[in-house]
A = this chain, B = another copy of it.
Amino acid sequence: MATIKDVAREAGVSIATVSYVINNTRPVSQETRRRVLEAARRLNYRPSIIARSLQAGRTHLIGYSWRPLPPEHGSPILDRFIHALGRAAYQAGYHLLAFPTPDVEREIEIYEELVEMGRVDGIVLSATNIHDQRVAYLQQTGFPFVAFGRAGAGWDYPWSDVDGTAGVAMAVRHLYELGHRRIAILAWPEDSLAGQYRFQGYLQGLEEVNLDFDPALVVRVEHAEHEGRRGLRQLLELPPAEQPTAVICVSDLIAIGAMNEALDRGLPVGRRFGIVGFDDIPIARYLRPPLTTVRQPVDEIGQAVVEQLVALIEEQPLDEAQRHRLLAPTLVVRASTTAE
């Protein structure tokens, strides 16, 4: 591997001159520049990124970690998010260091290691929770970080997020327009931040179309298929007149559970009994019936968090609109709400 020294020798100049030519950081005479460039080309020279990093105190690496989920869940959104991050990072001149964290206990150690060894310049967080120790740690050390997902009360840091409220409200309006008047929701437990916003969208949607809120139509479920099933069962235990004619689910996995339960019971999923998911996971369109769902703008979020993080790292100021970015989801209408 050729170094700057080799190029300097080959071109008959000092290494400083080579550096100035390569980085275009000071005027160099035509002739010398030509010789240097020529020598660099001949030797196939590339500056060592490590030496640069040491000198500059920057690695041009951004870290992203995710928590392992049981394989039967998959984590389609975060998977797509990794892709989006990688792409966006590359465009910004960075690379992505991706590390799955083991158990939540040892998680913070890994962050400390990465930060304190100077492995990465900044960190992207996702799936933050209310009292997130990673946030506490990073905030306290002043290390650059951003999150996919809004900050909990008491925190203030840059984030980008999907506007779950708008997404679910859209779903409510969609169902209302199809004639539904008793619309239920399978929501996450109250300690889920993202779940709260989506639930707000439910309330907001009901208000927009002038429907009364009925607590009996809200079931709190965990993120699992069998929980979706359980949620629907619980709704169907209501007296017939009080049963919903449509159900909004706070994730596609839950929607799959609800749909499976409905179909098992012979409910006509479609126009008469509507089911809406959230995420638009890749197979949503291939389910039977294909699932109407709220699509998260994952690529845009990846792009947004990288922009924010790079600004932080490079110490460019962020105004309020850039610090907190809420991206609009889209409603993808399929047969699970429209099939006759």
Contact A119 B49 (CB under 8 A): yes
Given contacts A86-B99, A281-B74, A283-B256, A50 and B46 within 8 Å (CB-CB) = no
Q: How far is the CA of A24 from the CA of B68 in the complex (A)?
A: 34
Residues 59-118 of A at the B interface (beta carbon under 8 Å) = 59, 61, 66, 68, 71-74, 76, 79-80, 82-83, 86-87, 90, 95-100, 102, 110, 113, 116-118
A97-B97, A260-B288, A288-B260 given; A46·B116 CB < 8 A = yes
Complex CA gap A118/B50 in Å reads 7
Distance in angstroms between the alpha carbons of A100 and B47 in the assembled complex = 23
A82-B82 in contact (CB<8A)? yes
User: By the criterion CB–CB under 8 Å, are B71 and A80 in contact?
Assistant: yes
Contacts of A95 in B (CB 8 A): 97, 99, 119
In the complex, chain B residues whose CB is within 8 Å of the CB of A14? none
Q: Contact residues of A with B, CB < 8 Å?
A: 1, 44, 46-51, 53-54, 59, 61, 66, 68, 71-74, 76, 79-80, 82-83, 86-87, 90, 95-100, 102, 110, 113, 116-119, 225, 253, 256-257, 260, 263, 281-283, 285-288
